[in-house]
Amino acid sequence: MAQKRPFNEGKRHFKKNKKQKSTGNDGSNEDVLLADVRRLLKDTSIAGDEAEEKQLPEQWSEIELDVSELSSTGDGLAQKDGQVYVVPFAAPGDTITAKVVRHVQDESYTLTDFLSVKTPSQHRTETPKCPYFTQCSGCQFQHLPYEYQLAHKRGIVEKAYANFSGLSTSCIPAVGETVGSPLQYGYRTKLTPHFDAPAGARRDKRQGLKVKWEEVPPIGFMKKGTRKTMDIEECPIGTEAVQQGLKRERVRVHKEIDNYQRGATLLLRESTERLKKSEADGDAVPNDGESGVVVEDRGEYLHRKTCITDSKATSTEYVDGFRFDNPAGAFFQNNNSILPLVTQYIRDNILSPTTAPPDQSDAPKPKIKNMIDAYSGSGFFTITLSQMFQHSIGIDIAAQSIASATTNAKLNKLPPDSTKFIASDANDLFSAIDPAVFRPEETAVVIDPPRKGCDRGFVRQLLAYGPERVCYVSCNVHTQARDVGWLVGGLVAEEGEGEVVEGLYEIESLRGFDFFPQTSHVEGVAILRKKKGGKGVELAGGMVEVEADGTKGQSEKAVDGEAVAKSEDSGADGVAKST
Ligand SMILES: C[S@@+](CC[C@H](N)C(=O)[O-])C[C@H]1O[C@@H](n2cnc3c(N)ncnc32)[C@H](O)[C@@H]1O
């Protein structure tokens, strides 16, 4: 049994982390976990002021925990004596033996390390394919059946909107079923294992000495719950070509370690050459696990896949019939198998609802002619959707991505007068577009920002512009929920920001796509439509601003009379493999 001691005695062991004191709205792992912990404490009526009397187990002691649920971070949650315990690699219904790592006093929760399963949950039916599962921080769910993972991710989207949008439940539609990934292992087209410099390397460098490697360091990913890199020889969520690349890179680093003066991150990026079967000769090379070439049969084509390790070399991917060339180190979606499903979903939903809302069933459908792809990267959404529109424009802050996007548009034979790209901050988009062409009532905006979500300034301008429809794609459903909360409920002005901006949209649909099987991450797709009567007003210079009077009354009414000003009290991630 675990030893116990009075709560206060443990104080010196437990560092306070400011971030964990209250939920912010940056969608960090801590905030997401905290929202789940608080809800569990509330649901079970564990009063906060009992905390002072709590007896908590010693740090590093072993305890047994009955896991009741999974948090949106992928960790199991268990309660014991008025405290919530966070247990990685668990399933609801498990009894787990865990090691106490750290008590977070102010919030009545404790982080633990997984040690073993004492009594397995009925949900624990899968044999993990990875030998490092329960040590590596990359995957959380290899012990759970895939259907269970998908259902859990639907719950993650639901909770994200409940906890982080600041919207009343009446504004949040039922979340659709998570769309599964065709490949559940062997899907990741990019991995970035790393290794650290030996102790004393900085000092040696300062003194102009060559770094001494006593041995080859571990090459891999972060060990769960630590800042240490663990040695990883295989990663079954990587594609076959990437896994072969990992083996080769490990051998190379072992040979060349003395040439390194510091730690390094290695790039493993799959690249595809598409060959017409009728034209392919014997050089297409059979899959032999040695050559570094993996050949896949794709109907009239052969896909010849290799692993690139030079970040500046060009990697090529095909999605449906579209070809994308990028520098291997640049951003591109990492799960090629699910991309045709998400693009089809957006095609099916971006112009008009698949099911018209009851009060608008005979209303004329909006005539969307144009698309703006904010945060366009190398043009994935602009290019795969542009044939639906008269004018499409993509914008990205990374000039290199815009150069790739422009090349990709040419590769896919898209006319330059109808598909354009500009390198700029998304915030400047609204002054860059021609309002006579991109009339808000004829325009849909696709947003796919980084994990941190949109800039408040961007949201203000989007609300001012007021496009007819918005499709918000995000690898962090918590920041997505926050931003959608602003688009629906309006933005409370912060210092120096100008006036309150009213919300203009209602959420037509919400759904997760499983871009990251075996992990707790989910890609969210939210389709928003402009509320009846919601409109922006054009100002000089093409900039638009929400009408101060009329629009305000209409917006409030449209959300059942509730003032849905976004609360600032709402809710990112340290896994080994970035999403
Ligand atoms: C998640 S990626 C999406 C890229 C693209 N939609 C795709 O699917 O390949 C986010 C993109 O946002 C871009 N980005 C980040 N901050 C930005 C900003 N302030 N303005 C415009 N683009 C930005 C990044 O360069 C990156 O290409």
Dist. CA 162 → ligand 1 center (Å): 26
**Is there an atom of ligand 1 within 6 Å of 317 CB?**
no
**Is there an atom of ligand 1 within 6 Å of 401 CB?**
yes
CA distance 84 to 90: 14
Any idea what the CATH number is for the domain that residue 159 is in? 3.40.50.150
Domain annotation covers residue 130: no
* CA-CA-CA-CA torsion sign (90, 16, 226, 60): negative
Ligand 1 pocket mutation, candidates 373, 396, 459, 471, criterion most atoms within 8 A of CB: 396
Domain annotation covers residue 276: yes
Q: Which of 526, 524, 525, 515 is nearest to 578 (CA)?
A: 515
Q: Which two tokens stand for residue 387?
A: 């044939």
Domain hosting residue 96, numbered range: 4-124
Same domain, yes or no: 231 and 349: no
Strand order in the sheet with 190-191: 190-191, 268-276, 301-308, 294-298
Q: Which of 460, 399, 467, 394 is nearest to 432 (CA)?
A: 394
| Helix axes of 29-43 and 146-164: crossing angle, nearest 10 degrees | 90
274 by Cβ neighbours in 10 Å (0-12 / 13-18 / 19+) ranks as middle
Q: Confirm or deny that 425 is annotated as ligand binding.
A: no
Dist. CA 403 → ligand 1 center (Å): 13
Domain annotation covers residue 90: yes
Domain annotation covers residue 348: yes
Coil/strand/helix, residue 574: coil
**Is there an atom of ligand 1 within 6 Å of 421 CB?**
no
Using 50 as the pLDDT threshold, list the residues of the chain that sit under it. Answer: 1-23, 51, 354-356, 536-579
Same domain, yes or no: 225 and 271: yes
Q: Which pLDDT does position 48 carry in this prediction?
A: 52
**Is there an atom of ligand 1 within 6 Å of 472 CB?**
no
Q: Which pLDDT does position 280 carry in this prediction?
A: 75
Same domain, yes or no: 223 and 285: yes
Q: Confirm or deny that 396 is annotated as ligand binding.
A: yes
Q: How does pLDDT run across 235-277, given as a tens digit for each residue?
A: 999 999 999 999 999 999 999 999 998 999 999 999 999 999 8
Question: What's the structural domain count of the chain?
Answer: 3
**Is there an atom of ligand 1 within 6 Å of 458 CB?**
no
Same domain, yes or no: 448 and 499: yes
Dist. CA 393 → ligand 1 center (Å): 14
* CA-CA-CA-CA torsion sign (577, 323, 180, 162): positive
The percent of the chain in helix, strand and coil, each rounded to the nearest 5, is 30, 25, 45
136 in catalytic set: no
Domain annotation covers residue 448: yes
Q: Which pLDDT does position 103 carry in this prediction?
A: 96
Domain annotation covers residue 271: yes
CA distance 272 to 252: 23
Q: How does pLDDT run across 284-322, given as a tens digit for each residue?
A: 556 666 678 999 999 899 999 999 999 999 999 999 899
Same domain, yes or no: 348 and 489: yes
152 by Cβ neighbours in 10 Å (0-12 / 13-18 / 19+) ranks as buried
Q: Which of 321, 270, 271, 322 is nearest to 300 (CA)?
A: 321
Domain annotation covers residue 169: yes
Task: Single out the residue in 74, 108, 124 at which a domain terminates.
Answer: 124
Q: C-alpha distances in angstroms, 181 versus 337, 351, 471, 517?
A: 7, 25, 20, 7
Q: C-alpha distances in angstroms, 469 versus 168, 261, 384, 455, 526?
A: 21, 51, 18, 19, 11
Coil/strand/helix, residue 139: coil
Q: Which two tokens stand for residue 239?
A: 């594609």
Q: Which pLDDT does position 291 carry in this prediction?
A: 72
Q: C-alpha distances in angstroms, 291 versus 241, 283, 285, 294?
A: 10, 11, 8, 8
Same domain, yes or no: 444 and 502: yes
What number does the ligand 1 atom closest to the CA of 401 have? 27
Q: Which of 130, 307, 454, 475 is catalytic?
A: 475
Same domain, yes or no: 116 and 227: no
Q: Confirm or deny that 3 is annotated as ligand binding.
A: no
CA distance 1 to 296: 54
CA distance 30 to 502: 30
CA distance 525 to 285: 39
Residue located nearest, by CA, to atom 8 of ligand 1 = 380
* Contacting residues for 12 by C-beta, under 8 A, at least 6 apart: none
Same domain, yes or no: 317 and 235: yes
Same domain, yes or no: 169 and 241: no
Same domain, yes or no: 273 and 160: no
CA distance 420 to 199: 50
**Is there an atom of ligand 1 within 6 Å of 457 CB?**
no
Contact 514, 534 (CB under 8 A): no
* Contacting residues for 2 by C-beta, under 8 A, at least 6 apart: 57, 58, 61, 62, 63, 64, 100
Dist. CA 74 → ligand 1 center (Å): 26
* Contacting residues for 279 by C-beta, under 8 A, at least 6 apart: none
Any idea what the CATH number is for the domain that residue 21 is in? 2.40.50.140
Q: Which pLDDT does position 352 carry in this prediction?
A: 73
Same domain, yes or no: 340 and 280: no
Same domain, yes or no: 205 and 298: yes
Dist. CA 332 → ligand 1 center (Å): 10
What number does the ligand 1 atom closest to the CA of 332 have? 9
The pTM for the full model equals: 0.86
Q: Confirm or deny that 375 is annotated as ligand binding.
A: yes
Residue located nearest, by CA, to atom 1 of ligand 1 = 450
Q: Which of 322, 325, 326 is nearest to 347 (CA)?
A: 322
Domain annotation covers residue 567: no
Residue type, 232: I
Q: Which of 330, 450, 444, 458 is nearest to 386 (CA)?
A: 444
Q: Which of 144, 251, 140, 239 is nearest to 189 (CA)?
A: 239
